[in-house]
């Protein structure tokens, strides 16, 4: 859609080894978003998501909490125009 946006977020804290990527994929899919989630070498998690801004805002709020076992310290988020590059939402290894 022309109004779609792209959220690029880096999630910092205790966010690897706690099913963060798996639960992010579930939440993004539930919201009808496309994109990717991946672990980064520094222990953070990178999320790229595209879709309507209101749904991306809901994903961002979820990222700030994370799944039950996670301890999110902060989320660095940037907004861009969507590229329509993703057919679905997937975990990238």
Going from N- to C-terminal start, the domains of the chain cover 5-79
In tens, the pLDDT along 44-86 reads 999 999 999 999 999 999 999 999 999 999 999 999 999 999 9
**Pair of tokens at residue 57:** 């805002």
State the pLDDT at residue 3: 87
For residue 1, what pLDDT band results from cuts at 50, 70 and 90? low
CATH architecture of the domain covering 5-79: 2-Layer Sandwich (3.30)
For residue 2, what pLDDT band results from cuts at 50, 70 and 90? low
**Pairwise CA distance, residues 40 & 46, whole Å:** 7
Q: To which residue do tokens 């859609």 refer? A: 1
C-alpha 38 chain-centroid distance: 9
In tens, the pLDDT along 17-54 reads 999 999 999 999 999 999 999 999 999 999 999 999 99
Does residue 47 contact residue 8 with C-beta atoms inside 8 Å? yes
Catalytic sites, residue numbers: 21, 39
């Amino acid at each position: 859609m022309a109004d779609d946006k792209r959220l690029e977020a880096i999630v910092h804290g205790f966010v690897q080894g706690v099913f963060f990527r798996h639960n992010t994929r579930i939440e993004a899919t539930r919201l009808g978003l496309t994109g990717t989630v991946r672990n980064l070498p520094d222990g953070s998690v990178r999320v790229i998501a595209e879709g309507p801004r209101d749904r991306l805002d809901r994903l961002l709020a979820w990222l700030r909490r994370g799944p039950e076992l996670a301890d999110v310290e902060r989320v660095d988020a940037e907004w861009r125009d969507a590229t329509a590059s993703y057919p679905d939402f997937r975990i990238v290894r």
